[in-house]
Copies of this chain bind each other. A is one copy, B any other.
Amino acid sequence: MAKQELSIGALGKLTGTKVETIRFYEKIGILPAPARTAGNYRSYGHDHVRRLTFVRRVRDLGFPLETVRAMLDLADQPDRPCGEVDALVVEQLNEVERKIADLERLREELDRLAHQCRRGGRVAECRIIEALSPHHEDGRCCP
Asked if A3 lies at the interface with its beta carbon under 8 angstroms from chain B, I say no
Report copies per complex: 2
Binds B, one of A19-27, A35-43, A89-97: A89-97
Main secondary structure, interface of A, reads: helix
What per-residue 1/0 map shows which CB atoms of A100-142 lie under 8 Å from chain B?
1011101100110110110011111111111111100000111
A85 B107 Cβ-Cβ under 8 A: no
A58 B106 Cβ-Cβ under 8 A: yes
Asked if A66 lies at the interface with its beta carbon under 8 angstroms from chain B, I say no
A103 B100 Cβ-Cβ under 8 A: yes
Residues of chain B with a CB closer than 8 A to A114's CB: 86, 89-90, 93
Residues of chain B with a CB closer than 8 A to A125's CB: 78
**Which of A107, A120, A141 has the most CB atoms of chain B within a 10 A radius of its CB?**
A141
- Nearest to A100 among chain B residues (CB) is B103
Cα distance A103–B98 in the bound complex, in angstroms: 10
- Nearest to A125 among chain B residues (CB) is B78
Closest Cβ of chain B: how far from A111's Cβ, in Å?
A: 6
A92 B110 Cβ-Cβ under 8 A: yes
Asked if A61 lies at the interface with its beta carbon under 8 angstroms from chain B, I say yes
- Nearest to A117 among chain B residues (CB) is B82
Closest Cβ of chain B: how far from A70's Cβ, in Å?
A: 10
